[in-house]
Amino acid sequence: MSKKEVFVEYLSKINSVIKQSLHQTQRIKFTCFDISSNYIVFGASSGGIYIFNRHPCKFIKLIPNKDGSVTNIVISSEQKDVALSTSKGFIVIVENCFCDGNIHYQIYTQHEGNMVTAMKWYGNDLYSGDSSGQVSVISISHLLKKALFQTPSATLMRLDSTIVQLDIYSNFLLASTKTKTYLCDTVQEQYRQIGKKLRDGYFGACFYNKGGFNIDPTQTEDKLLRNLKNGNSSIVNRDAVKIYCARPGLRLWEANFDSSVVCTHQFRDSLNINASTIIHLGESENSVLEISDLSETIFSSFNFGKIFTFNDYILTFKADGIYVFDVRSVSLLYWTNYFSDIRDIKVLGNTIYIWLENNNLKILSLLDIESFITKILSRKQYLLCAQFCLYFIDDVSALIRDSRLQILKVLNEKLINKEVVCEIQPLLKMIENCRINSQKLQNGIYIVDNVHHRENSITPKNTVLKPINGDSDNIIEANAVKPETHISVETDHHTDKNYLINILNKQYQFNKINPSIMIPKFQELMHEKDLAELKNMYDLFLEYCNSDNDSKIWITTQVLKFINLNRTEHLKMLDRDSTLFQFVQDCFTTLNKSNHLCKCSFPLSNASLTTVQFYEVGCELIEKSNNFSLICKEVPTMYKFTLIKSCQENLISSLPLLIQFNDYNLFTSYCTLFTYDMWDEAIKYFVKLKRNVCLNCDQIIKNDLNITWNDFAKCMLHSIGGPSTLKILSRYSKYIPSGELETDFYQSCIFVNCLPNSLNENKIKYSRFCEDTDKNDARRNEFDLLILKYLKSKEIGETKRTNSIYLTESNCTICDIPLKSVLFDDNVKLKCGHLSHKICAINKDLCVACSSKQI
């Protein structure tokens, strides 16, 4: 029997939370967004990244970015990093952006001058395409070398027109342009066009993988291992995966991995259905049934745009609607034009996040009748449930006759409205007549013959259910505990030690050859375990492997990986004195332990260079621990998390630790708050540290400093200005080796000294100007000429000047520094009509404000 499904819109306070983050400014606008299981992120016209917790929705933080307005943003698969593209065509990867501290920026310029139009993560690889047809890949690494070397990147393809959509499956990249679709084997470094006919429009393409396997489950483990050992990564289950390419005339090409078109699906004849019903689901237990039932039909000119896999269907959207197609029956199943002015959508499981032009975010799911009833009963919305059953009485009656929906019995006791109780009595009587068969064993376990579970489970027909309070009615209540799940069952093989060892060992053998492979049974096994069960599996596997180091590192990594995927569930309610808390702490320290400590337990400077695996888990542990120093002694890099807190509370007392930890990003984020006296103390500490003396115990230590004298001096310059900086540096000049202060520092001194330093906002502008200049070779050369011209004119006395700027009413529309000064005398008119300094206009046609409007 085909399932009846309905659209469900979740009504919540999410939009008020999101808009609150911008309530203090009218200038900044959100430009793009992305969704993951834990987070919602928005890119902004200011270049910033606004991060929200997804459920419950709350604002977490703003991460600044100075490389232009954000045009695209995507969250990495493991929810550690965010990649964004800017109006300049830059790709910026912000690593560890969801945790407090340890944030790193990586900037890539392959697409500079073009508009990045598509981005897609796959593992640690980021694929991107632009308006010129260029497709590139950036491979990131969370190893120590990332702090020393630039992350590798490469151009994969240069195609004929704008990239509309990218999708990835295993080692295959699907790139859809305005005219063609290409399939690229990233291992063999070959790509071919799918089909021969061209098109003209923003048509998408995607992989359709109903099975969800990344490897072919029909192959034996031995064959898979041979493929891996031989370097053959093309072990995908091609029969289970299809490729769909959108075509004009509401057609879809179905293609195979040989880039051949297998068949064409024509959906034009299925457009004569009315818009689908939408249920508007509120959060209150007293919610009543709200339905939008439209009778409109689709315009005949409708066509596919970008396409996405959604449940077992293909989803597309336009500015005025959402459309769900079934390829198997070649028909349009559901659609709605309830939402207008749609800007973008993101798909997460069976939920669609719809972003509108007015910046509202709508949440829509497609649920079958049974799943929706289970959901609202779990939320104790009994009146809503009864009204829903009456509205869809024919579909509900059919499910009851099929021995489903036994949980509806609870309405007899929970409904307060007597009128509704009377109306629903016929359905409740049907349930009594079709009561589920169950048998209670002597040990208190129930054997349940459940039709719904029997049809949807891979487990044997007879399954067991743990009793809750000892009576059979609790079997019914168990369905309502978790929405969108069925009766909780335990099968013999999931608790059998031999079965568990077999699955764990197979995964271990695969990962020894290829760390990115994950067999489906292992993934399923780990996802369904709670923390206590994960610990038991951990102990069981170590016992099997005799606790050798490689196997211990592997199983520790797997346990932390699955804990990290749902930290809220695993750690938030955990008692810090419990055995399980100690287990998680031991796993974390085992995986990240290092000896970057002085004998006095102060961290050495090279601790800041070490990347912590599962940093967020470590932060959660420290938050809950009553003795954070125990974790920091084992994992010195975690001092970064404690430093952030201590600097916020008492910056002066944190100064020795901040200097010795020597993390450049952390230091620059707080040094702008230093006073003159604090800088005087800081330089004393820095001199001492440069002599390899611990700032806590005065013992000789081994140092590998990240911050140079030049870095230190430039930070001071942007904090307290040129004269004060030179005064302090002169006092300690005998401790600064010759050549340590570089040309760019002296140039910055001259630049800052020529401008007023009275306001903090001015210092920030100058600092940003210098940073932007350092990033661009053309600007760097122009800046050198500016300083040289200034020095020469001073030597020959060409111009009378003072150490202040010639204040005018107009500022440069790019850097916001006044147009006329002792340094700047050449102004240019931009394409948009506004004026800027000549140096600022390099590689720019528009000012910041006009660039944002164009986007």
Whether 474 has a pLDDT exceeding 50, the answer reads no
Check whether residue 513 and residue 542 sit in a common domain. Answer: yes
Q: Are 487 and 562 members of one domain?
A: no
Q: Flag whether pLDDT at 227 surpasses 60.
A: no
Q: Does 470 fall in a domain?
A: yes
Give the number of other Cβ atoms within 10 Å of residue 566's Cβ.
14
pLDDT of res. 351: 94
Q: Which residues neighbour 806 within 8 Å (Cβ) at sequence distance 6 or greater?
A: 818, 820, 821, 822
pLDDT top residue among 457 and 410 = 410
- Would the pLDDT of 460 be above 70? no
* Least confident interval from 289-293, 458-462, 699-703: 458-462
The tokens describing 498, both together, are 């031999």
Task: Tell how strand 835-837 and strand 827-829 pair up.
Answer: antiparallel
CB neighbourhood size of 148 (10 A) = 8
Task: Report residue 515 as tokens.
Answer: 């760390």
Q: Is 531 buried (19+), middle (13-18) or exposed (0-12) by CB count in 10 A?
A: buried
Q: Is 805 part of a structural domain of the chain?
A: no
Mean pLDDT of the chain: 80
Q: What is the mean pLDDT of residues 427-450?
A: 59
CA proximity to 206, closest of 164, 243, 162, 169? 243
Q: How confident is the model at residue 759 (pLDDT cuts 50, 70, 90)?
A: very low
Which residues does residue 829 pair with via DSSP β-bridges, in sequence order? 835
Closest CA to 53 of 94, 20, 17: 17
808 pLDDT band, cuts 50/70/90, is very low
- Mean local confidence (pLDDT), 468-493: 36
Q: Find the range with the poorest average confidence among 21-35, 434-448, 554-568, 684-698.
A: 434-448
Average pLDDT over residues 546-565: 86
Give the span between the Cα atoms of 543 and 799, in whole angstroms.
Answer: 82
CB 103 within 8 A of CB 96: yes
**Residue with the larger pLDDT of the pair 759 and 383:** 383
* 504 within a domain of the structure (yes/no): yes
Residues 484 and 378 in one domain: yes
Higher-confidence position of 435 and 662: 662
Tens of pLDDT, residue by residue over 639-678, are 888 888 888 888 888 899 998 888 888 888 888 888 889 9
Domain boundary residue, one of 540, 561, 585 = 585
Would you state the structure tokens that stand for residue 289, as one six-digit string? 């049934």
Residues 381 and 409 in one domain: yes
| pLDDT-based confidence at residue 145 (cuts at 50, 70, 90) | very low
**Residue 797 pLDDT grade (very low, low, confident, very high; cuts 50, 70, 90):** very low
What pLDDT score does 354 carry? 96
Domains contained in the chain, number? 2
Distance CA 495, CA 553 (A): 23
Range of the domain at 581: 493-585
Is residue 457 domain-shared with residue 497, that is, in the same domain?
no
Whether 523 and 579 share a structural domain? yes
Annotate 459-478 with b (16+ C-beta within 10 A) or e (fewer): eeeebebebeeeeeeebbeb
pLDDT of residue 134: 95
| 388 & 501 share domain | no
CA distance 529 to 535: 10
Whether residue 453 is found in the same domain as residue 568: no
Pair (560, 448) in one structural domain: no
Q: Pick the more confident residue, 510 or 453.
A: 510
Cα separation, 513 vs 65, in Å, equals 38
Q: Mean pLDDT lowest for which of 206-220, 286-300, 476-490, 733-747?
A: 476-490
Check residue 801 and give its pLDDT.
41
Which pLDDT value is given to residue 51? 94
| Position 116 in a domain | no
In contact, 363 and 353? CB cutoff 8 Å: yes
388 & 476 share domain: yes
Amino acid type, 315: L
50-64, 139-153, 190-204, 736-750: segment of lowest average pLDDT:
139-153
- From 492, 523, 538, the end of a domain falls on 492
Whether residue 509 lies inside any domain: the answer is: yes
The DSSP string of 541-559 is HHHHTTT-HHHHHHHHHHH
pLDDT tier at 312, thresholds 50, 70, 90:
confident
Q: Is residue 412 part of a domain?
A: yes
The whole model's pTM is what?
Answer: 0.55
- Report which of residues 706 and 454 the model is more confident about: 706
pLDDT at 587: 92
Report pLDDT for 630.
84
pLDDT for the residue 483: 37
Alpha-carbon distance 500 to 542, whole Å? 12
Mean pLDDT of the region 444-455: 43
Digit-coded pLDDT (tens) for 182-207: 999 988 888 999 999 999 999 999 99
Q: Is residue 527 part of a domain?
A: yes
Task: Write down the residue that tokens 């967020």 correspond to.
Answer: 616
415 and 519 housed in the same domain: no
| Residue in this structure with the two tokens 């003159």, named with its chain if needed | 676
Q: Is residue 838 part of a domain?
A: no
Of all helices (H) and strands (E), which one includes residue 213? none
Q: What is the pLDDT of residue 252?
A: 95
pLDDT at 798: 42
- Of 188-197, 445-454, 623-632, the least confident: 445-454
How far does CA 64 lie from the centroid of its chain? 16
Q: What is the pLDDT of residue 223?
A: 55
State the pLDDT at residue 85: 96
Q: Please give the residue that has the higher pLDDT: either 464 or 533.
A: 533
pLDDT at position 153? 80
User: Are 510 and 533 members of one domain?
Assistant: yes
Does residue 827 register a pLDDT over 70? yes
Domain boundary among 541, 563, 585: 585
